[in-house]
Amino acid sequence: MPQTLDSSDGAVAVEDSTGDDEFSDASEIPSSPLLVLLQSYKEALVNNDEVKVAELESSLKSIDEEIAGLEGKIASLSEELSIEKDRKLRIGADFDNYRKRTERDRLSLVTNAQGEVVESLLPVLDNFERAKAQIKVETEGEEKINNSYQSIYKQFIEILNSLGVEPVETVGNPFDPMLHEAIMREDSAEFEEGIILQEFRKGFKLGDRLLRPSMVKVSAGPGPAKPEQASQEERVTNEISEDSKENDGSTETESA
């Protein structure tokens, strides 16, 4: 009898131990509070526990409202993020335009300053040109002076070129009132009307800026005769010559 009791106690002990292990394993499985709430709601519906069902439905409703509120906040934050991105792009574009405008203004300021300096030096260049035209080398000493003068003149021209100064093209080119100043007009059978015949004073440009216009003489035409015009003039000349011959012949006949 005692053995039976002992064996039954042992069996009970084993069963209890097994049940405890299962319970401990189940408790170790992580579960979402929402899943637990839904499970409780399901059990309350099965048990027809109206009070518990109402309580759980209220909890579920508050969760739905909280989710809706969070979704609204997410939408609002997304909109704010989009606005800030657009603002960042605008600020970047404004800064880039400001940088380009500043660089353009700086270059314009430098060009204007260079232009003013070069303009003040142009009369000196004119004096060099006039002296160059008047120098007549006759002695060895005058040759040395002329060589020194030419070296200085060349250096002066090279400095102007290094600054971007360019002479305005004149002789043989069409007259341009934006670049040239016409002080004379002359008939020409070689050049058509509006073609520059002679330059009296050099004009200069610095980039797109005109430092001073060239003083020039412009052709008033008529220029070389065109082939059609030349043929017509030749035909008129031949007709006149033939008429003249006929008149001469008739005169001789009458005299006879």
Q: What is the pLDDT of residue 240?
A: 65
**What are 76's two structure tokens?**
């609002």
Mean pLDDT confidence for 149-178? 90
Q: What is the pLDDT of residue 197?
A: 94
Whether residue 44 lies inside any domain: the answer is yes
Q: What is the pTM of this model?
A: 0.49
Whether residue 88 lies inside any domain: the answer is yes
Q: Which residue has the higher pLDDT, 233 or 71?
A: 71
Least confident of 71-85, 121-135, 188-202: 121-135
Whether residue 53 lies inside any domain: the answer is yes
Residues in the chain: 256
Residue that terminates a domain, selected from 75, 98, 121: 98
Residue type at position 185: R
- Report whether 9 contacts 17 (CB < 8 A): no
Residue that terminates a domain, selected from 46, 63, 98: 98
Task: Inform me whether the pLDDT recorded for 235 exceeds 90.
Answer: no
Strand partners, 196: 218
Q: Which domain holds residue 62?
A: 33-98
pLDDT in tens, 14-32: 344 444 444 444 444 445 7
Q: Report which of 169, 201, 166, 167 is spatially closest to residue 183, judged by C-alpha positions.
A: 201
**How many folded domains does the chain comprise?**
2
Confidence of residue 229 (pLDDT cuts 50, 70, 90): low
Percent of the chain with pLDDT over 70: 76
Q: Report which of 118, 125, 195 is spatially closest to residue 163, judged by C-alpha positions.
A: 118
Question: ∠ at Cα 71 (67, 77), nearest 5°?
Answer: 145
Peptide bond into 222 cis (omega under 30): yes
Strand partners, 82: none
Check which CATH number belongs to the domain holding 217 and give it: 2.30.22.10
